[in-house]
Every structure is written in structure tokens, then in C-alpha cells.
Amino acid sequence: MSVRALWFTEGRLHVIDQRELPKRTRIRHLRRVEEVADAIRTLTVRGAPAIGVAAAFGMVLASRERGWTPDRAARLLRSTRPTAYDLFVGIETVRAAWARGEDPGRAAMAYRDQVVDECHEIGEAGAPLFLRRPRVLTHCNAGALATVEWGTSLAPLRVAKSRGAPIFVWVDETRPLLQGSRLTAWELLQEEIPHAVIADNAAGHFMRRGEIDAVIVGADRIVSNGDFANKIGTYEKAVLAHENHIPFYVAAPWTTFDVQRRSGASIPVEERSADEVRHFAGASVAPAKSPVRNPAFDVTPARYVTAYITPGGVATPARVGALARRHGLANGLTR
Amino acid sequence: MSVRALWFTEGRLHVIDQRELPKRTRIRHLRRVEEVADAIRTLTVRGAPAIGVAAAFGMVLASRERGWTPDRAARLLRSTRPTAYDLFVGIETVRAAWARGEDPGRAAMAYRDQVVDECHEIGEAGAPLFLRRPRVLTHCNAGALATVEWGTSLAPLRVAKSRGAPIFVWVDETRPLLQGSRLTAWELLQEEIPHAVIADNAAGHFMRRGEIDAVIVGADRIVSNGDFANKIGTYEKAVLAHENHIPFYVAAPWTTFDVQRRSGASIPVEERSADEVRHFAGASVAPAKSPVRNPAFDVTPARYVTAYITPGGVATPARVGALARRHGLANGLTR
């Protein structure tokens, strides 16, 4: 079993504080929707599928507090982060149920179960791709911590390993917030999956030397032509994989698909605080007066993607939009 | 005037301790060849041209101590780092003079003056390339700190700015040791050159958005077909520049050219300690048990280089080997 990023019991949302890993495994107990919004904004909980589920439970907490309407709670939670589509799907799923007079708790549980099931389906669908390409680079964290459990990009690797493939994961450290070295490496250690952490700068070097067989990443938003947003640096790895004739895979549940949007050019990209770059684990690493640019995501054009690993199977860029529509995603936020 | 990385007076080599920048400007005063070897090994002094000059003065210190022969001192200094060619040229230049009975101090001074002059020639040769392409990405530090003064990659930008070009430098932070955010940003601040520090992961994003007009880097070793070694991550930037139709320039003095070697495949690439990736400023940023790979350099094939900016002018990959030979480099280490 993989770790769990969050769970809901006794009227509280419990989340592993991902800012403190790998040093400390501290659980935060959230009782109010504003605490959930804050946890999402501060990256206490992060990863597109996980923040969708956290926000769904945030809606549940709002429905049990005084003074919140479905629309007002949704507005608060939507304002936390702009790029991950799952966030908006999770909020809308519970908002619609609540507004219809249904039980928000039941809607959120169903939403969570669906995300968890889809991660397992991604694992099954993707595993065959890695049986003969076992040395796999990943960027950021799209493991259990990003997705409640099991993961998106790590799911096929977990399944391939369980089938005897000699999986070895190259872990990009993923500056500025080090989700690779802090979170992915920590997950892989828990499950004894062989791996090595590298500076983001070193991935191309190992690709060129023939030491990387494939690349797999998660996604924050995939639009209907296959363009997708993911953690800053993903575009660089996609171009390098293409140049080195290495397959590049994107793994995501249906909640990540924004099929109403036709190309990646219009995906909103969050810019975060300069201090994330100026400081490194609490220490100052750049002159305080030097300006900084800190986009949290980039958009990778579909032409660099070999295939998408979805709960409905593996699809090429030309077919992924149609596949998503067939799975009932024609109307964007409704599932 | 730009800053100076090192100077030799009163029988001592004085170097700015580059490990402590930008927090503190501390000068180390080295009296013995073993101290110089240690300063090179620990990156107290770094940058290919600068370590060549430091090693040349290390030979001078050895010649004034008891117990050293030219060969023994050269052996010690050669063992410090394997990739930068300038190191071996600097050592050999003074070793040969000492062995011939000439004054090692005079040989080292001449070597240093030549490197400084060549950096100014690089500035003049390269400046016209940036007058209409003023938004320039650089990786690592190839400024004054890396080259005694003026720099290689920063030299053409300094000259272009003095001629009125609206130079803006995108500074890759350059993990693991952050020579970009710590050193290049510091130099640019001293001289009031507009710039922004970015995570290495963000360079491709800004290239794709059309915000970067050109890329310029220094080099640790350039071989006769134009392949070159430089700080890890350089290869990634070169591929991304190529993919985005952005010119990619390499600036270096003649001491960086290893013309006896025919391709980059045989350049020795230093792997450094895992702790450079696992820790920063005393803080752990990855699980202690996670394995790490930490190559300090990569090798970029000549086909990604638009042109080399040398003291003898600007040359394409097809011509740079011949140009280097014309400048008297046919015999490798002799100048």
C-alpha cells in the first residue's frame, strides 16, 4: 500500500503537511473551510487531484458551518490557486450537490473514491509501457501525496514493479519547492523502490547517455488538443525526451481534463512569491535586491507527448480529446 | 570596472571566497601550494579561466617553498579537478617555465595578463551579437569571478550595455551550487545590470514565451569539433534554445580549447558529492537514505551551438577548430 495524503473523519479533514516532509510527518486537522483554503494556498496539501479532493471536503466543512452558501464557499476555494483543473472540478461537484439539496458529504466521498479508483486504473493501463523501459525519469511529485493515494505518474511504476519489472526512478529534485527530492524520494523510500535524486539540470545529461528509458509526469490541466500544464520544468523535460527519442508520458485522472478549452495557450499560469527562489530551505541564496521571476507551472504542447495514460486507457495526442469526451467530459466541469 | 576574483601580491594569492557570496565578501590569503589546491578542490575559487590562473600562482608558491619540484607541484594541482582544461594549461605554462629555469612568477603573471586580455577581446568580439538581442539567458557564472575579471559570457553583455543596448540578463540559479543566483546575480547587482533570477526549470518556459532573445554560456573545455563541457544543465539550455530558434553562444579564451581531442565523448566529467544535492546551508532537502547522482558538468554537442565567441573573433562550429589552431593551439597544452 502507498501512503495517504488526506482523509476525512469525525467532521475534520486530516492532511499530511507536505511542507514539512521529509523531515517530519505532521498531520494537520482542518475544521473550517477557511483552514482548507489556507492549506491549499500554502501548499500544505498540493498536487492537482489531491487539492481537488481537499477542496471537495472544504465544501463539506462549509456546509456544516454557519454563514456559508454553496456559491460563497466555492468562490473562496476557487480563489486559492488558478492552474490545477481538478480543484475546480472538486469544488463544482460538491457545490452542485449542495445547491440541489443533496448531502455534500456523500458527494465529496464519491468524488474522492472516484479519484482513487482512477489512479488505480491509470496504474493498470500504464504498467505495460514500463516493463521493458524500467529506468524512468519523473518530475515533481505525482505520487500518493498528490492524489490521495497510489498516484498518477507513480501508479504505473508501482504496478510494473509488482509484476517484476526492475523499476528505477530518476527523481528530478524540482526547484524551487523540491517536491521531487522532498516528496517523491520520500514515497519511493517508503516503498523501497530503487531511485536516485538528481538536480533538474542533470536530467538531459542522463538522457543523452542512454540511462533513461522513459519519462512520466502528472498534470495540472490537460486541454482538448492534448496541451497540458504541469510543474515548471516539465516542458524542458518533454523537449529533451523528444530530442533524445525517449517516450514521454502524461498520467492523469479525468478530473484533470479541461475539454472545453481548445489549446494550452489560454491556461492560467500561477506566478508565486520571489522568496521561493531567493531562499533555499530557509537560507538566503540570492542577493535580496535581485529581482526574481517564479512561474509555478509551464505549458507543454501536445506534440512532445508520446501518450496520455488515463483511467480509460492509453491515448495518443490526436485521440485524447475524443477519449475524454467519450468518458462524459463534454461539458467541462460536470462529470 | 568589474570585480576581481583573485590577485597576487607580497608572495600570497588572494582570492574572494566564492562559497560565501553573496552573504559575505571574504578574502582568503593563500601562502602554500597545498592551500591553492584545496581552494580549487573546494570551489573557494572556481570557473575554468580563474582556476587556471589560481593554479599558475599555486605553481609559483610551490617554487618558493622547500621540497617541491615542478613535476610534483603540477601533479598535486592537476589532481584537484578533472574537467576544466584551463587548469591544465595554467599549470603546464608555469611548470615548463620553472623546469627551463625561468622565473615562475613572471610566467604566471604573463599567463594571467593574457587571460584578462582575452576576456576583453571576447567582450569586443561578442558585443555586436547582442545589440538587437538584448534579453539574454546565462547559466552558471562565467563573469569576473570565473575569470579573474570581466568574464567570458558576461563580457559581451558588459560591452553591449556600454554601447547603449538595453541588456537584461535572465539568470539560471544553477543547482546544485547556485553559481547563478549567488554569483552572477551578485556581479550584475554590483554593476547595475538589469536581471532576474529564475529556477533552472523556468528557462524553457520563458524561451517559449518569446522573452529570451539569446543564450550565452562559458565553457570548461572545448574540443576541436566544437563539442564542449560546461556546468551541468548547459546541454538542456542548448537543446531548448535550438528547439525555440534562439541563438546559443559559447564564450571562452584560448586556454579552454583542447584541440588535441576530437570529440566531446572523451571529456572527463567530474561527479561530486551527494551532499551538494541533499543539503543546502546545513538544511537537509532530501531523505538521507535516498541515493543521489551529481555530475558537475555535461557535454553539449557542437550542433546546438550557433557560434563561439573567442579572442580571435566569432566562429561557427565548423570553423572553430581551425581558428583555434591558427592561434597557435596545435600542440594542446603549449601556447
**Cell numbers for A167:** 523499476
Given CA atoms B42, B202, B199, B149 in this order, what sign does their dihedral have? positive
A192-211, pLDDT tens digit by residue?
999 999 999 999 999 999 99
> What's the pLDDT at A316?
97
Kindly identify which residue of chain B lies nearest to residue A174, measuring between CA atoms: B201
* Helix axes of A104-126 and A154-162: crossing angle, nearest 10 degrees: 60
Helix (H) / strand (E) element for A113: namely: helix A104-126
Prediction ipTM score: 0.96
Start-to-end C-alpha separation, chain A: 28
> What's the pLDDT at A30?
98
Q: Does A101 touch chain B if contact means CB atoms closer than 8 Å?
A: no
Over residues A298-310, mean pLDDT: 98
- Closest Cα of chain B to A70: distance in Å? 37
- Closest Cα of chain A to B313: distance in Å? 29
pLDDT at B308 over 70: yes
B217-244, pLDDT tens digit by residue?
999 999 999 999 999 999 999 999 999 9
B268-301, pLDDT tens digit by residue?
999 999 999 998 767 888 999 999 999 999 999 9
Cβ distance of B291 and A197 shorter than 8 Å: yes
Provide the residue type at B152 as one letter. T
Report d(CA A332, CA A52) in Å as an integer.
Answer: 15
Which of A178, A232, A295 faces B285 most closely, judged by CB atoms?
Answer: A178
Query: Which residue among the candidates A172, A220, A227, A258 is catalytic per the annotation?
Result: A220
**B298 labelled catalytic:** no
Between residues 3 and 32 of chain B, which touch chain A (CB distance below 8 Å)?
A: 22-23
> What's the pLDDT at B3?
81
Q: Which domains does chain B have, with CATH numbers?
A: 6-118 (1.20.120.420), 126-326 (3.40.50.10470)
B180-224, pLDDT tens digit by residue?
999 999 999 999 999 999 999 999 999 999 999 999 999 999 999
Which of A195, A285, A289 faces B290 most closely, judged by CB atoms?
Answer: A195
| C-alpha closest to that of A257 among A184, A326, A158 | A326
Report d(CA A217, CA A53) in Å as an integer.
Answer: 20
Strand partners, A216: A138, A249
pLDDT at A333 over 70: no
Neighbours of B141 (CB within 10 A): 33
B160-169, pLDDT tens digit by residue?
999 999 999 9
- Closest Cα of chain A to B23: distance in Å? 8
pTM: 0.96
pLDDT at B331 over 50: no
**Cell numbers for A293:** 521571476
Considering only residues A284 and B333, tell me which one the structure prediction assigns the higher pLDDT.
A284
Report d(CA A158, CA A140) in Å as an integer.
Answer: 17
**pLDDT band (50, 70, 90) for residue A59:** very high
Query: Which residue among the candidates B172, B220, B227, B258 is catalytic per the annotation?
Result: B220
Cβ distance of B173 and A178 shorter than 8 Å: no
B123-161, pLDDT tens digit by residue?
999 999 999 999 999 999 999 999 999 999 999 999 999
**pLDDT band (50, 70, 90) for residue B1:** low
Over residues B4-28, mean pLDDT: 95
Cβ distance of A181 and B284 shorter than 8 Å: no
pLDDT at A330 over 60: no
| C-alpha closest to that of A86 among A63, A109, A55, A108 | A55
- Computed over every residue of chain A, the mean pLDDT equals 95
**pLDDT band (50, 70, 90) for residue A334:** low
Report d(CA B228, CA B257) in Å as an integer.
Answer: 9
> What's the pLDDT at B280?
73
